Amino acid sequence: MRILMVSDVYFPRVNGVSTSIQTLRQALAAAGHTSVLVAPDYPGAAAEPDIVRVPGWAIPRDPEDRLMHPRALAAALEAQNPADFDLIHIHTPFLAHRGGVRWARRHHLPSVETYHTLFEEYLHHYLPFLPKKWLAALARRISRKECEGVTAVIAPSSAMKQALQRYGVTRPVHIIPTGLRLADFAHCDGAAFRARYSIAPDRPVISYVGRVAFEKNLDFLLHVTDTLRHDFPDLLFVIAGEGPARASLERAVAQRGLTDNVRFVGYLDRKTGLPGCYCAADVFVFASKTETQGLVLLEAMALGVPVVGLAEMGTKDVLQEGAGCRIAPDDVAGFAGVLRPLLADRAAARALGAAGRDYAAGWSETRMQDDILRLYQALVASA
Would you list the domain boundaries of the chain? 2-179+364-382, 182-362
CA distances to 186, 203, 295, 309, 310 from 224, rounded to whole Å, are 30, 17, 22, 12, 13
d(CA 70, CA 378): 31
Q: What pLDDT sits at residue 59?
A: 85
Q: What is the pTM of this model?
A: 0.89
* C-alpha angle 101-102-103 in degrees, rounded to nearest 5: 90
Residue 55: what pLDDT? Answer: 97
Question: Which pLDDT does position 50 carry in this prediction?
Answer: 97
Q: 15 near 171, Cβ under 8 Å?
A: no
Q: How far apart are CA 89 and CA 35, in angstroms?
A: 10
**3 state DSSP class of 205:** strand
Q: How far is CA 112 from the centre of its chain?
A: 19
11 contacts 269 by C-beta, under 8 angstroms? no
Give the SS3 label for residue 112.
strand
162: part of which helix (H) or strand (E)? Answer: helix 158-167
- pLDDT given for residue 146 in this prediction: 94
Top-level class of domain 2-179+364-382: alpha beta
Question: What amino acid is encoded at 208 in this protein?
Answer: Y
CA 185 vs CA 38, 153, 356, 373: distances in Å = 27, 29, 12, 24
C-alpha angle with apex 19: 16 to 25, nearest 5 degrees? 140
Judged by phi (left if over 0) then psi (alpha if -120 to 50, else beta), residue 374 lies in alpha
CB atoms within 10 A of CB 316: 16
Low-confidence spans in the chain with pLDDT less than 50: none
What's the confidence (pLDDT) of residue 132?
Answer: 74
Q: Which string of b and e fits 109-124 if b means at least 16 CB within 10 Å?
A: bbbbbbbbbbbbbbbb
User: What is the maximum span of the chain, computed from C-alpha positions, in angstroms?
Assistant: 65
On the question of a common fold for 2-179+364-382 and 182-362, the answer reads yes
What pLDDT, on a 0 to 100 scale, did the predictor assign at position 62? 74
Is 182-362 assigned to CATH 3.30.1330.50?
no
